[in-house]
Amino acid sequence: MKIIKKANKEISSDKLSSYVESLIAFSNGSDLDPEINKIIKNFPTPRYIQREMLKSECAVLSEMVRYVWKQITGKDLLDESKIIENPDFLLGNYWMFQSGMLLHGINHFTIIKQYQNILPSLININAFTLQEYLSSEPEKLIFYIIKNGGVRMFINKNRRAIFQMSPESYGTWAKERIKKYDFHEKNLKIIDLNKEYDGWNSGITIKI
């Protein structure tokens, strides 16, 4: 299949490389349609995308990435801003990942259900284990994602934000990422992975 089409909306090379990296990781060991798998295997490396690709080449590649993403997840990367490029307009419930990707939805449980096909590649979890947690209580599923590197976040209309994460996420990348966001108030809740998870009540609060 050839996909040679001018992109209607642009995706930055940094974001594009992250999406490609996620798709490549997901395709390894997954039972994908042979045609989709072939397209993914022909993607340039994330490093090449960031350092070598021209803007026009990125535009063509972004259409291919959007096509593959929709075939796997059923969602367009740019559909209704569910995956956010610009943090200035964040409002509501999100999951944040080290790759830079943000997933938006009605609540944190349904976000995981909606994007269950790509989560194993985003935080390197087992797809079968994820399915088991999807059948359990919402709080257990949310704790599982936090424990494995996801950051739970909520932003209200007054631009006040609360984040919940593991100590490892806080120390390795999340704190510095959140510092760059322009919110009126930022509360980080660092949870103890050895204690029973109790939703937003869990964690020691740090303001930055």
Q: Could you please report the per-residue DSSP string of 59-70?
A: HHHHHHHHHHHH
Q: Residue 184 falls within a domain, yes or no?
A: yes
74 and 91 together in one domain: no
73 and 133 together in one domain: no
Q: Residue 138 falls within a domain, yes or no?
A: yes
53 and 137 together in one domain: no
Which amino acid appears at position 14 of this protein? D
pLDDT tens for 45-59 read 888 888 888 887 888
74 and 150 together in one domain: no
pLDDT in tens, the chain (208 residues): 222 233 345 677 777 887 887 788 777 756 778 888 888 888 888 888 888 888 878 887 888 888 888 888 777 766 533 444 445 567 889 999 887 778 888 899 988 988 887 788 778 788 889 999 999 999 999 999 999 999 999 999 888 999 999 999 999 999 998 988 888 899 999 999 999 999 999 999 999 8
59 and 128 together in one domain: no
Which amino acid appears at position 165 of this protein? M
Q: Which residues of 85-94 are buried (b: 16+ CB within 10 A; e: fewer)?
A: eeeeebeebb
97 and 68 together in one domain: no
CA dist 1 → 39, 91, 153 (Å)? 9, 38, 39
35 and 138 together in one domain: no
Torsions phi, psi for 164 (to 5 deg) = -130, 130
Q: Residue 43 falls within a domain, yes or no?
A: yes
Q: Residue 166 falls within a domain, yes or no?
A: yes
Q: Residue 125 falls within a domain, yes or no?
A: yes
* Tally of structural domains, the chain: 2
59 and 94 together in one domain: no
- Counting every residue written for the chain, the total comes to 208
Domain around 134: 87-207
101 and 38 together in one domain: no
